[in-house]
Structure 1
Amino acid sequence: MEEKRLLTPCVGLILSLCTVLATQTTSAPHPVPITQPCSFFTGKSCEECLRNVSCFWCTTNNTCLAYPVRSILPPSSLCAMSAARWGACWINFEALIISMGVIAGAILLGIIICCCYCCYCRKGSNSRMDAEEENLIRERERRQHEAQQRKNERTVKHNEIRKKYGLLPDMDHPYSKYENE
């Protein structure tokens, strides 16, 4: 129950963060495919530069540069990571990469924790099932032993009755001497 109380604020925080991010990104004009080169937007605004998804904005010298697609991150010779903007003008590229890494790590950690928890629960339920099976086997053996004891007691009683009335062929009874003559 305590885990649930801890998760509820986290879920609320994540949902509010997603809502804020969604409103920030949806309030900006939708990117329109622009056929002009990125250098055309140098000296203009960051929003105009980022309408073209193949461009990124450098705030140190207000230049719009083509994103180097061959390398994952733009080299520092073009623009410092803290001054580069891509996708949204309100967040720098360095913070974007760090936050995406943290989010991806949290998701991965959550998946790993869920898998471990599920395996732990399954292992616990298997051991409970094994213990129940062992109890059932012991109970069955105990019942079989008691049934065998009752059967032996009945056999002894029946033999005593047969002996009393002379129905046991291999036992000597008082009337055996009269049967052979």
Structure 2
Amino acid sequence: MGTKRVFNLGAGFYHQKDGTRTSVNSQIEKHDIALYAIDAFADLPLGNAKNKMALSAYTGFYNYNFGPNYLRNLGIMNVGSNDPNFIGDKAIAGAGNLQPMIGSGNIYYLQAGLLLPSNADKPKIRIQPFAAYTNKNFKALENSSSQFDVGANWFIDGHHAKLTTQYSTRPTYTSASAEPKSKGEFILQFQIYL
């Protein structure tokens, strides 16, 4: 929370023999799972130490192989359902806020936030505006997607409680060969640490 310099580098891998399977014409093929990642995190105090202002940044590159053209679509707390009367182009991910989230291919992620100076009148409340960029390049889709997030963390009593407000874009594909379109979503989340 803006009191010390922090810099971390990370790297990791995961391998599972015959971790996934595909079935084509009743023939089952086994595929190894191989995941590799590198990342970096920095938290750097800025300005006068009494203000406890800081710049935080995280970046990561992930190379995933779950087998040929593996693609998983996820939607956080998705309440969408298919409308049988819908006549437009349907997203291949499905209804609601589903999107291609993980699969064989590469993901690049970058996030940065600025912890604003502490307020003498309300020292237990801290605000951190942030922005993020994600690029996903999955083998099952001919075109990569770019996503953007912008929001703010509202820290209450350090990390004991946090309210996050965020606007995000997410890609929608109507076919594996289509250029992705972008849809927006607003996210509100609350976290308590005891």
TMscore range, shorter length: under 0.3
Q: Whose radius of gyration is greater, 1 or 2?
A: 1
Of structures 1 and 2, the one scoring higher in RCO (CA 8 A, sep 6+) is: 2
**Which TM-score applies when normalising by structure 2?**
0.18
**Which TM-score applies when normalising by structure 1?**
0.19
Q: Which has the higher strand share?
A: 2
Q: Which has the higher helix share?
A: 1
